[in-house]
Amino acid sequence: MPVEPLICADTATRVSSVLNRDVKQFGKKHMFDTSEETCWNSDQGTCQWVTLDFPCTVKVLQLHIQFQGGFSSRLCTLEGCRAGEELVKISDLYPEDINAMQISFATFQVEETVLDKLKITFEKSTDFFGRIVVYHLGVLGERL
């Protein structure tokens, strides 16, 4: 099976917060719109997160994420589960505080995982106030 993007229109997404509740300018949809001009910007606070509920069971192989420098996370915790189960920890990732696209599954050698729900928790923001800015979030793998 070829590796393909797993986030689609039927993927239910949630985020911990949006800066000033301004969903139009900083909402979660901007992580997936492929525009270099838009982004999801969290409000301040520790442990911001994103959850993805896939419409079918998937095998996750790669995570692509692009932060804004100065508003990234030094530690990201990945958790996942099958439908109806509790989230379990998959891995810790340690992104760099740079603007470039980061392919964390390839970089961090996370073994492939079969799941229906994925949660990414941004544990240690590089911003003093705990804000996270993500320009692009992609999950690649196989639909099962």
**Would you give per-residue pLDDT tens digits along the chain (144 residues)?**
678 999 999 999 999 999 999 999 999 999 999 898 999 999 999 899 999 999 999 999 888 888 888 889 999 999 999 999 999 999 888 887 776 665 443 333 456 789 999 999 999 899 999 999 999 999 988 999
Instruction: Quote the domain boundaries for residue 23.
Output: 4-143
Q: What is the pLDDT of residue 69?
A: 83
Domain with 56 in it: what CATH number?
2.60.120.260
Task: Supply the pTM of this predicted model.
Answer: 0.89
Please give the structure tokens belonging to residue 109. Answer: 């050698």
CB 67 within 8 A of CB 76: no
Domain count, the chain: 1
